[in-house]
Structure 1
Amino acid sequence: MIIAQEIEIEFKNMLKKNEYQKVYQFLPFESVELIEQTNYYFETEDMLLKQQGAALRIRQKNGQWTLTLKQPHEEGLLETHDSLSEDGANLWIQNKMMETPEVSKQLRDLGITIEHLHYLGSLTTRRKEVEYNGATIVLDHSLYYDKEDYELEVEASSQENGKKVIREILNACNIPERQTDNKIKRFYNAKLQSE
């Protein structure tokens, strides 16, 4: 059972491959399972979601398919979720979208109907997660189009703790803070470059 809505507070920092290895060694990532997940992204022809700072994806992870709308929120990001069957997810990917209870309502509030949406493409992430100082620390290696990138993510219950923990890890591993776009922005940029 997934929660219909939640506030996500996270901090991100792009890493070079050697920096990814430093963080991997700094925390006990070796002892945790590698999770592979794929995000399938959706947008309108005129990029209405992007214009409103929102993003829509289906994530396939551990045999579960979840439709998620991310929207700006004063605390972080508001995430609205609906579970999909594998068949339902495949229909979305074939541009045969169906209404869902939570996400469709949020989309209507943004002035978007599912008829406006189309499938953009996918991004696959190899992920490792550990708990550290009251936060979830995530190391991501993502592959999309002909690109790959590495990223450190800190998911925290408060802005204050998230900032503190990511700075602590970056300082310990001697990694500079970098302005980091989220995955969907990086995906959009790669898509534009490939066209």
Structure 2
Amino acid sequence: MAKETEIEEKNLLTRNEFDMLADTYQIKPPQFFWQANTYFDTPALEIKEQGAALRVRTKSNNYELTLKQPASAGLLETNQTLTEVEAKRLMEQAELPEGEVKESLHPFIGDTSMLQKLGTLETYRAQTSHETGILFLDHSVYLDTEDFELEIEGSSEEEVRKWLTSILTDHDIPARPTPNKIKRFFTRKQELAR
């Protein structure tokens, strides 16, 4: 189990911009790997309403439960490795395993038995080290939608902001408001519910 602060900046891309950046950074199709984020909340979306998110990430038959919550800089992530049995129990019955994530979730919801699975967002992701951070290219598929995204992670907000601005300027890509994946997922889910 671990807690870490994640400092990142994102920008949505068109398919052509995504392909151009993959070519620029010499990222080939075999470098993309699959991962899936399955999101959970209460029926009243109590976790979301407090600016936090709860997910299970599945990647290469590994499962990690993560609570993301606002921090003074970036997001505070509380991570907990799950066994396959724990992950399946959570994904099929919304039964949260004991551990640091469940303890960290108590300020957001009082009763974890109210959790329900909201859905899954699949991402094909590639990453490369660059300067003092990491550049990610993500192709995500969720509900009836797909999108493309550039994400930069680094050690300070100023650093990642400058780096992202430089990439966008160098490649004539417009800066676009880019909510994180779970917010895009929730937005689309609400649009489909209308």
The TM-score bracket by the shorter chain reads over 0.9
Offset at residue 31 of structure 1 (A): 8.0
How many equivalent residue pairs?
193
Which moves more between the two structures, 169-178 or 91-100? 91-100
The 2-side partners of 1:158 and 1:98 are apart by 33
SS at match of 1:28: coil
Change (3 A) 1:31 1:115: closer
| 2:39 pairs with 1:46 | no
Deviations 1:41-66 (A, max 9, x none): 00111111111000000000122100
The 2-side partners of 1:187 and 1:112 are apart by 24
Aligned to 2:121: 123
| 2:175 pairs with 1:177 | yes
Deviations 1:89-145 (A, max 9, x none): 111111241333110111112243321211011010000100111110000000011
Which moves more between the two structures, 116-125 or 106-115? 106-115
Aligned to 1:70: 68
Aligned to 2:163: 165
Aligned to 1:135: 133
Offset at residue 148 of structure 1 (A): 0.3
Which structure 2 segments of 5+ residues have no match? Answer: none
RMSD, matched Cα: 1.4
The aligned runs of 1:29-108 (5 Å cut-off) are: 29-30=27-28, 33-108=31-106
Paired letter, 2:112: I
The 2-side partners of 1:6 and 1:78 are apart by 6
Paired letter, 2:168: L
Offset at residue 183 of structure 1 (A): 0.5
| Contact 2:121 2:140 (8 Å CA) reproduced | yes
The 2-side partners of 1:96 and 1:45 are apart by 12
Aligned to 2:19: 21
Which structure 1 segments of 5+ residues have no match? Answer: none
Normalised by the length of structure 1, the TM-score is 0.94
